Amino acid sequence: MDFSPDYLILMLTDACNLECAYCYLGNHKSTHTMAPHTIDRAMDLALASGTPFHVQLSGGEPTLAPRAVFHAAKKVRTLSPDSTLGIQTNATCIDNAMADMMLDFHMDVGVSLDGPPQIQEKLRGKAKKTFLGLQYLEDRQIPFTVTTVVTRENVSHLHALVMVLGGFAQARGLGLDLLVNKGNAKNHLVPDPCELEQGITKMMTALDGVNRLRPIPLQLRELNRLTSSARGRDNCHFCHAAVNKSLAVTPEGGLYPCTQTAFDPDFFWGTLENPHFMDAPASLSGLKRAGNFDPEYCGACPLKGRCPGDCPGRIYYNGNAALACVMYKTLYGCFFV
């Protein structure tokens, strides 16, 4: 079948220089790097629509494969200049050449950061190098956002992370990724609902205080998502994967709906040489946006009918959206009530 993704994720390498405690790719680490012809074939799928799309450079750690980053970025900017381009990095390997690429190709830079240095060291390692990378982005005046995996180990330190980010003029925002029970993730890392409510409440207080002192306020992705849904905008689906409009490509050309489902045979869409899009034992598009709750569960919720829902991959692997429910109701209480 013909398929042209709106959101293309190029997993440029499955090599990584960190050992994150909850990595959902598990033991799928090697030294494989995506070849130029693989990048070209994947990009051709998105180009086929003739309309702008988004390319996300991911891994592993994509900055370990700078030639692949350059090849992919140059192709996007040459063949589809109106498309958007992002890179998700742990920031430990950012050097002058990588910073030049980020600027020259107008990349949206996302950094994986779970807390202040001591928390980052515990959950991911090499915290000193990560913060040196953030300072490098700051010095080169490269705007960046941060993505945080929320676990039991850092949920009570989210306010401290906001305060740390407040000191970076180039920091633009924060996104909260609730733990996905896949790969290396262990159940003991899942935050308790009460801990999550308390952590987010404290974080929102810190965010309000920090933003009062910043010329460019820090944005919270989940709050923006909630605001859009509560006002009746962007309420049709949670993400591109939920409507079969995203595609993740592994270094060797394997195809999956998104990075969370990568290397899971139940979501395998074949290869670039032999694709079978949307033909896999499991599907993200069939999952309920709010998880597997009974209708009565949402009956009295003030967000009923305007809830952002949850990541379909997380619903699939976690079995429900209970923590997302806690998160959005807490944000609603902090911001709207």
pLDDT in tens, 166-180: 999 999 999 999 999
In a domain, 140, yes or no: yes
Over residues 37-64, the mean pLDDT reads 97
Question: Using an 8 Å Cβ cutoff, are 328 and 177 in contact?
Answer: no
Give the mean pLDDT of the chain.
Answer: 92
Cis peptide before 305 (omega within 30 of 0): no
In a domain, 259, yes or no: no
pLDDT tens by residue, 116-135: 999 999 999 999 999 999 99
Q: How many domains does the structure of the chain reveal?
A: 1
Where in the sequence is the domain holding 65, given as residue range(s)? 7-230
pLDDT tens by residue, 217-259: 999 999 999 988 877 655 557 888 888 899 999 999 999 999 9
In a domain, 238, yes or no: no
Question: Using an 8 Å Cβ cutoff, are 266 and 275 in contact?
Answer: no
DSSP 199: H
DSSP 267: G
Which residues share a beta bridge with 177? Answer: 149
Number of other CB atoms surrounding residue 321 within 10 Å? 26
**CA atoms lying within 13 Å on the CB side of residue 173:** 12
Q: CATH no. for residue 169?
A: 3.20.20.70
What's this model's pTM, rounded to 2 decimal places?
A: 0.94
- Compute the distance between CA of residue 269 and CA of residue 172 in angstroms, rounded to an integer: 35
Residue with tokens 């032999």: 274
In a domain, 207, yes or no: yes
In a domain, 331, yes or no: no
Number of other CB atoms surrounding residue 154 within 10 Å? 23
In a domain, 334, yes or no: no
Question: Using an 8 Å Cβ cutoff, are 190 and 152 in contact?
Answer: yes
In a domain, 261, yes or no: no
Pairing of strands 171-178, 108-112: unpaired
In a domain, 126, yes or no: yes
